[in-house]
Amino acid sequence: MENAVSAFTAGWAGRIVIAGAGYAGLHVALRLTARLRDNAVAELTLVDRHDYHQVLTELPRVAGGTRAGGTRAAGAVRIPLQDMLAMRVRFVQSEISGFDLPGRRLLTRAGPIGWRRLVLALGSRPNDFAIPGLAQRALSLYSASDAERVWAAVSKALDAAAAATGPERQRRLATVVVGGGGATGVELAGELAEMLPQVASGHGLAPGRPAMLLVEAGPTILAGSSPQLIDNATRILSDLGVQVRTNAMVAAATEEGFRLKGGQLVEGGVFVWAGGVKAPDLVVGSGLPIGHNGRVKVDRHLRVLDHPQVYAAGDLASVTDPRTGHVLPPLAQVALEEGETVARNLDAELEGRPLEAFTFHDKGFVVSVGTRRGVADIAGITSGGRLAHLLKDAIEWEYRQSVTHLRGWDPLAL
Ligand SMILES: Cc1cc2nc3c(=O)[nH]c(=O)nc-3n(C[C@H](O)[C@H](O)[C@H](O)COP(=O)(O)OP(=O)(O)OC[C@H]3O[C@@H](n4cnc5c(N)ncnc54)[C@H](O)[C@@H]3O)c2cc1C
């Protein structure tokens, strides 16, 4: 591990700097290391604020608590980078503070890092859509620490409910409200709905006292999925006791709760926002071309428009699928495939080969709903129940194997 960057002066000509060790950035580092085995000129540097990689897709399980025999400890979703990176990759743990594009320097708290090629893979941040009070009132679920905070807040709310007098006040305090019915909101609501009755008695509450509410602005949860998948997910959530409210747009978050567009108040003891993501603030005003939600616009080779020495991948990149004309969603699967193309294109540049265009190979959509069931759309076949949950477990297991065995995820496998 390396904390200072001033020593990085050698190998300048071939220096590739990867900003962000998430799904996309780590994958570029792992795949490129394998490809560059025989190339002594190229030097790889990976920069992240953390010295670990976070398996974000498993956060809902952490937020569901571990005390109750729940499913993941926070530590288990932080994989130390030193366990995954070969000697070939220099790691710099530092906060990235900006970009000096003309000077070809990445600006970090540890000092500037010069690059010949830069890969931007800084992910995204929760988007509060400038809803008044939301950032202050609601928790988010974007890191292992966030997930621990959610579970701690739930436990505190259950204690407060147990100490309260009157069933109505108890019920209100023991209600968890999740805003946003996308995959993250559904996974979190399902996980908590299953855990709450199990832990209630430990807090002095009847198992039926806690409640779980999922609030979605659109007409349906899991927007964009097949009607059958949505039906399956809705059925499992209802079975778990989750109250789903669609066409319920949050207009403000106050001390009392979420105020909906129609004026109605949604009360609860804990509020979590899972309503969408946007690019990190860092890219605004950076001189990078920015599209919807602040994501960086790229060409078909994943090079930033007008900046051919800079690649972008993952949630940060705004990549249009030529087959649908739509920008690809912020998903780990997309980030990994983009990382694969970036690694191949950097290798091609070093070898003097032509660049390849990015093509997304959709492997399907799997969402866990609770600790035992899930829904999946794979190759046009929709399934719901235990099998879909096992599939989600298998995908996560395969991902962990791919990073801990230093090979990166193979988009052609699975
Ligand atoms: C709760 C949750 C559940 C999800 N579930 C799924 C799922 O089931 N399936 C799925 O396909 N997708 C899922 N996603 C989405 C998926 O996690 C993202 O699409 C994926 O993480 C994007 O990868 P990335 O490399 O672009 O960004 P990230 O994985 O977020 O990595 C970005 C990296 O950049 C670093 N970084 C950012 N800014 C700075 C800075 N200024 N200085 C230094 N370092 C910085 C971060 O520390 C991080 O390591 C989920 C997301 C969340 C939050």
Q: What is the 3-state secondary structure (H, E, C) of 242-310?
A: EEEECCCCEEEECCCEEEECCCCEEECCEEEECCCEECCHHHCCCCCCECHHHCEEECCCCEECCEEEE
What is the full per-residue pLDDT of the chain (414 aa) written as tens digits? 443 333 333 344 579 999 999 999 999 999 998 888 777 778 899 999 999 999 999 999 999 886 444 457 888 899 999 888 877 899 999 999 999 999 999 999 999 999 999 999 999 999 999 999 999 999 999 999 999 999 999 999 999 999 999 999 999 999 999 999 999 999 999 999 999 999 999 999 999 999 999 999 999 999 999 999 999 999 999 999 999 999 999 999 999 999 999 999 999 999 999 999 999 999 988 999 999 899 999 999 999 999 999 999 999 999 999 888 999 999 999 999 999 999 999 999 988 899 999 999 998 999 999 999 999 999 889 999 999 999 999 999 999 988 887 667 776 664
Using a 6 Å cutoff on CB, does residue 281 contact ligand 1?
Answer: no
Using a 6 Å cutoff on CB, does residue 57 contact ligand 1?
Answer: yes
Contact 99, 285 (CB under 8 A): no
Write the residue with the smallest CA distance to atom 46 of ligand 1.
Answer: 20
Which residues have C-beta within 8 Å of that of residue 35, sequence separation ≥ 6? 343, 344, 347
Q: How far is the CA of 303 from the centre of ligand 1 (A)?
A: 20
Using a 6 Å cutoff on CB, does residue 50 contact ligand 1?
Answer: yes
Contact 158, 253 (CB under 8 A): no
First and final CA of the chain: distance in angstroms? Answer: 32
Using a 6 Å cutoff on CB, does residue 83 contact ligand 1?
Answer: no
Contact 221, 233 (CB under 8 A): yes
Q: CA–CA separation, 125 vs 177, rounded Å?
A: 20
Written as six digits, the tokens of 174 are 């023991």
Atom of ligand 1 at shortest range from CA of 331: 19
Coil, strand, or helix at residue 365?
strand
* Choice from 18, 26, 48 to test ligand 1 binding pocket (greatest atom count within 8 A of CB): 48
Using a 6 Å cutoff on CB, does residue 314 contact ligand 1?
Answer: yes
From the DSSP assignment, how many helices (H) and strands (E) are in the chain? Answer: 9, 26
Smallest CA-to-CA distance from 25 within 41, 48, 58, 56 is with: 48
- Tell me the whole-structure pTM to 2 decimals: 0.93
